[in-house]
Amino acid sequence: MKYMATDYIVGIDLGTTNSLVAYMQGSSPVVIPGEDGLNLVPSVVALDENNRIVVGNAARKYLIETPERAVYSIKRLMGRGVEDVEDELKLFPFQLAEDLQQGEVLRIKIGERTYTPPEISALVLRQLKRNAERFFGAPVTQAVITVPAYFNDAQRQATKDAGRIAGLNVLRLVNEPTAASLAYGLDKKKNGMVVVYDLGGGTFDISILKLHDGIFEVVATNGDTHLGGDDIDNLLISIALDDIRGDLGLDLRKDMRHSGEAVQRIRQAVIEAKIALSSQPSAKLNVDLPGGKKYQREISRDMFEQMIQPIVDRTIGPCKQALKDAALKPEQIDEVVLVGGSTRIPKVQRLVEDLFGRKPHTDLNPDEVVALGAAVQAHILGGGSEITQDMLLLDVTPLSLGIEVAGGVTDKIILRNSTVPASATQYYTTQVDGQTNVAIHVLQGERELARDCRSLARFDLKGVPPMVAGMPRIEVKFLIDANGILRVSAREQRSGQEAEIDVQPTYGLTDEQVENMLLESYDYAEEDFRQRQAIEARREAETILTALAKAKNNYAWRELTNDERRNVEKLEKALVAVKEGDDYHAVRAAIDALNEATMRLAELMMDTAVSTALKGKAMDDTDLEEGPQAGHPMAKADFE
């Protein structure tokens, strides 16, 4: 056995709208439900009234009640900089931190706090981790996480960081459409060309795979990391807002901050209508607005399809490009698989059918198939079994990797659709005598000019031995690993000296920042809860100590044996010693011990009280109320 049976490796689909966690149960992958019994965990994070973090279904109500204390669709901001999220900010109620600096990783406000997108994603991941731990009754520390195939290096890195912040060792990032094909191909051992069309909440991917005796070889991939069901929702919201301004004279756009609740109600209503229109010919919108007004409208499927046409059509370009890159004609495709909730829309299904000339498969649950595939990949990485032994994923890098050369031009060194891991070696030299540093700018994208590509990082090669200009021969090796993430190493060949690389990720967190977040997220998320537990325990300790002091005057105290009295007093001292400390567990344990030791005292006092009452004497009810037994009815504080 390569791994212990207790080491569960889970597969996680970290989605724009919903997230799921799955694992391989015997020979088939299954989704692990949350405590609420539901498989989907909405990717929503909110702060509740007590400033506690709430994730998933429980957080959804805050989207409407206190929209400024909740965030959704954070995946859209992963790995992006301030300057390239302007469009998103117009459409999504993301509030950026006010003190954000240029070049800094984005921070989003939730209530009074600010979080980076990886931290918010980490909170979703942690919820999934907990769901899995609850399910297994064992800790879960290793995971495979899926990402859109068209995610660039920065977006992938941000996802990996999120995993680390959540306390997960991310064994692999797997592309979503590829993961889906794994789940799909598990029981259908077929050979042929398969297209996976994945239109989710916020991202679109198209992947073309060649299936060959258990090898899943991606031949081309394309997509748009900002295209999905969210865009349909935003369009419908925008139409509704226009209607409301026109018909009711209410301009909700003017004061977004105060109409946030109304906009979120509209959002909820259009999403419900959108979903209904996949199975019904029409749907009604009915939203209560501020000032007792009502927005009502009926949408027919025809109207809906016309409205969303421009959005749906944006998937055509990437599909054609992928076919072209794969050097395939639509008639050479054997199967088409649909993934992502937005592929439930009949209009989308028709478009796919037209594009590839065949009816797509709809037999898999488009919401779950990615997570199930991730579970399969997790199983493979864990050592696999007979079921998976022939399976191997060969994925590609979706975007070309290049270097900025003279004139601001991109020199591509690894082309898109190259199977990963992939590498390229470039040679550099110096321009000035004695130069010891060489700066390199790494880019990702297809455009000719550097400024039109994604800036991934700037590298400083340091420690180049001083030589005459042009003499050093610095070999720089670029390696895209199986996660699609870039690694760089460098060596000066003439001296054999390793040049040092100083990576400045353009839009990413540094290792140190991630480490801090790892701790902070723990402290921060549970700070209030822990403090409250400690305060409660201290209060309880004081109650029991006061009651005990009183009880010592009671007749019952003398009824105890010497040993019993000595034991109680010993434990009393112990509780006094720990109660002011921060160690909640120690206080709790001391309370429990003292409670147990005073059990007989409490019983005796009870008897005394009863017999006193029978004798017609006034009962000292404070004794009863504040007697040691007062400690018992208090419920044990729950962890988690």
Q: Which residues contact other proteins by CB under 8 A?
A: 2-3, 171-172, 212-213, 215, 377, 380-383, 392-394, 405, 407-409, 411-412, 418-424, 448-449, 479-482
What residues contact 456, with CB distance under 8 A and at least 6 apart? 152, 153, 154, 401, 442, 443, 444, 486, 505, 506
Closer to other proteins by CB, 270 or 420: give it: 420
Considering only CA atoms, which of 173, 143, 142 is closest in space to residue 79?
A: 173
Closer to other proteins by CB, 214 or 246: give it: 214
Closer to other proteins by CB, 449 or 577: give it: 449
From 48, 119, 153, 176, the catalytic residue: 176
Query: Catalytic site residue 386?
Result: no
Contact 288, 331 (CB under 8 A): no
Closer to other proteins by CB, 183 or 597: give it: 183
- Mutual angle of helices 117-136 and 511-551, in 10-degree steps: 60
Half-sphere exposure of 112 (CA within 13 A, CB side): 6
Closer to other proteins by CB, 390 or 515: give it: 390
User: Looking at the DSSP assignment, which residues form a beta bridge with residue 283?
Assistant: 299
Minimum distance of other proteins from residue 2's CB (angstroms) = 4
Closer to other proteins by CB, 417 or 629: give it: 417
Considering only CA atoms, which of 628, 618, 614, 630 is closest in space to residue 557?
A: 628
Q: How far apart are CA 381 and CA 560, in angstroms?
A: 63
From 48, 75, 210, 233, the catalytic residue: 75
Minimum distance of other proteins from residue 359's CB (angstroms) = 30
Query: Catalytic site residue 205?
Result: no
What residues contact 334, with CB distance under 8 A and at least 6 apart? 190, 192, 193, 194
Q: Which amino acid, 539?
A: R
Closer to other proteins by CB, 212 or 359: give it: 212
Which tokens hold the place of 267?
Answer: 């959002």
DSSP per-residue letters across 316-385: HHHHHHHHHHTT--GGG--EEEEESGGGGSHHHHHHHHHHHTSPPB--S-TTTHHHHHHHHHHHHHTT--
Q: Which amino acid, 96?
A: L
What Cα–Cα distance (Å) separates residue 6 from each residue in 2, 10, 168, 384, 421? 12, 12, 16, 15, 30
Query: Catalytic site residue 176?
Result: yes
Based on the number of CB atoms within 10 Å of its own CB, is 249 exposed (0-12), middle (13-18) or buried (19 or more)? Answer: exposed
Q: How far apart are CA 120 and CA 294, in angstroms?
A: 34
Backbone CA torsion sign across 410, 416, 418, 423: positive
Minimum distance of other proteins from residue 57's CB (angstroms) = 33
Closer to other proteins by CB, 213 or 500: give it: 213
Minimum distance of other proteins from residue 473's CB (angstroms) = 15
Minimum distance of other proteins from residue 449's CB (angstroms) = 6
Minimum distance of other proteins from residue 481's CB (angstroms) = 6
From 198, 231, 233, 492, the catalytic residue: 198
- At 80 the three-state DSSP class reads coil
Query: Catalytic site residue 198?
Result: yes
Minimum distance of other proteins from residue 167's CB (angstroms) = 19
The CA angle 45-47-52, to the nearest 5 degrees, is 110
Minimum distance of other proteins from residue 386's CB (angstroms) = 15
User: Looking at the DSSP assignment, which residues form a beta bridge with residue 12?
Assistant: 21, 145
What Cα–Cα distance (Å) separates residue 348 from each residue in 225, 318, 341, 366? 18, 14, 11, 13
Strands 454-462 and 438-444: antiparallel
Which tokens hold the place of 320?
Answer: 């054609």
Considering only CA atoms, which of 170, 219, 441, 480 is closest in space to residue 326?
A: 219
CB atoms within 10 A of CB 607: 12
Contact 492, 464 (CB under 8 A): yes
Minimum distance of other proteins from residue 486's CB (angstroms) = 12
Q: What DSSP state is assigned to residue 218?
A: E
Backbone CA torsion sign across 183, 186, 188, 190: positive
Q: How far apart are CA 607 and CA 623, in angstroms?
A: 12
Closer to other proteins by CB, 392 or 468: give it: 392
Minimum distance of other proteins from residue 383's CB (angstroms) = 5
Minimum distance of other proteins from residue 172's CB (angstroms) = 8
Closer to other proteins by CB, 281 or 408: give it: 408
Closer to other proteins by CB, 41 or 381: give it: 381
Q: How far apart are CA 183 and CA 370, in angstroms?
A: 7
Closer to other proteins by CB, 113 or 487: give it: 487
Q: How far apart are CA 197 and CA 238, in angstroms?
A: 27
Minimum distance of other proteins from residue 155's CB (angstroms) = 21
Active-site annotation, residues: 13, 75, 176, 198
